Amino acid sequence: MMHKPELTFYCELDSQALKTLFEDRFVIDDLKVLNARLSLGILDFSVERAQVVQRLNKVGVPVVAWLLLPKEEGYWFNLDNYEQATARYEAFKVWTAEKSLAWAGIGLDIEPDINQVQDLKAKPLQLLPEVFKRLVNGQRVKKAQAAYKALVEQIRADGYLVEAYHLPLIVDERKAKSTVLQRVGGLVDLETDREVLMLYSSFLRPHGHTVLWDYGKEADSIAIGNTGGGVDLEGLTDKAPMTWEEFARDLRLAYLREKPIHIFCLEGCVAQGFLERLNTFDWQQPVVPPKSTGISSLRRSLQYLLWFLQRPLVILFGMMSFIGAIFMIRKRKSKGSKRNLIGKLKKKG
């Protein structure tokens, strides 16, 4: 068992709110005491954001650049905005050089287009034709994967480690050797130096911690949350922030998995007083892992479904075989009935 896990806090604030957060010197002091890293959302290339990074560089708090796009370009990286993602990284490098910023790594957040996520809430039925169109277009996946692979190689060549922030369903997609979720949801199965699975139990109450426990064994790092923060997706992510009891439970479950921990998010932890409480947190306090048999069964069913959807000819062949078998059975029954009828007639004759 690890003595103490590596902690990384996400921070996703606009420039002014970020500046205000770090005007509290205790925030930096607590990060240093915890020997924690910060994954800072790069929402812009502002002076205020650069100044915060410079302060953290000066005091020795490692900062990962969590690359994000303007909302009109999808915000998170996805299957269709790889050109914008590549351009964003190039602009980021110019800003980094101009401001003499140091980074502990680069974070790539792979999620569906934020605008389409919002449309899913507002007009779900209108998206069905688009979903079908995506489902039959496999070339999008190949192009995007090649582009993101090149981006990761470029980032590594520039001397940075790369971590990917993935929705956990990508693991099931991978096991099923499928691209269905990538085609429909715009996800990208991206190989990096560290895969962080976003296992935010507050979005999946009351079973969120069970999902965390089951998927956690397959993560390089377990991301827990939400303590209060992030982008506003009305009707989809407007769940109550984690309580301290939920937060402590998830921390200890991740600790039992002996994995590094990403925490979403720093601003929520500060607002609720969680950050300072972590300084005296008892990692050794027992926690009972949830029984994840049900979640494991659901995951296996999903993997089977993805496997079949990836291979429609298998489904077609199976249906034809099934229909053919029924036809043969009926034919045999019909022949048997005729034989019986003829036999009865002969007896009567």
Q: What is the mean pLDDT of residues 271-286?
A: 96
66 pLDDT more than 50: yes
Q: Express as a percent the part of the chain with pLDDT over 70.
A: 84
Residue 303 dihedral angles phi and psi, to the nearest 5°? -65, -40
Find tokens 């029924």 and name the residue. Answer: 326
Burial 260-274 (b: 16+ CB within 10 A, else e): bbbbbbbbbbbebeb
Distance CA 21, CA 52 (A): 10
Q: Is the pLDDT of residue 252 over 90?
A: yes
Q: 187: which 2 tokens?
A: 């996800």
pLDDT in tens, 195-211: 999 999 999 999 999 99
Fold of 7-291: TIM Barrel (3.20.20)
- E strand or H helix that includes residue 106: strand 105-110
Checking if the pLDDT of 260 tops 90, the result is: yes
SS (H, E, C) 271-340: HHCHHHHHHHCCCCCCCCCCCCHHHHHHHHHHHHHHHHHHCHHHHHHHHHHHHHHHHHHHHHHHHHHHHH
Give me the pLDDT at residue 125, please: 65
CA distance 115 to 100: 34
Q: Tell which wins on pLDDT, 180 or 321.
A: 180
Q: How far is CA 50 from each of CA 19, 42, 88, 96, 97, rounded to the nearest angstrom?
A: 10, 10, 16, 8, 11
Is cis: bond before 206, omega within 30 of 0?
yes
Domain ranges of the chain: 7-291, 311-348
Per-residue pLDDT tens digits for 143-165 = 999 999 999 999 999 999 999 99
Q: What is the pTM of this model?
A: 0.88
Closest alpha carbon to 170 in 203, 219, 107, 114: 219
Q: Please report, as a single letter, which amino acid is at residue 194.
A: R
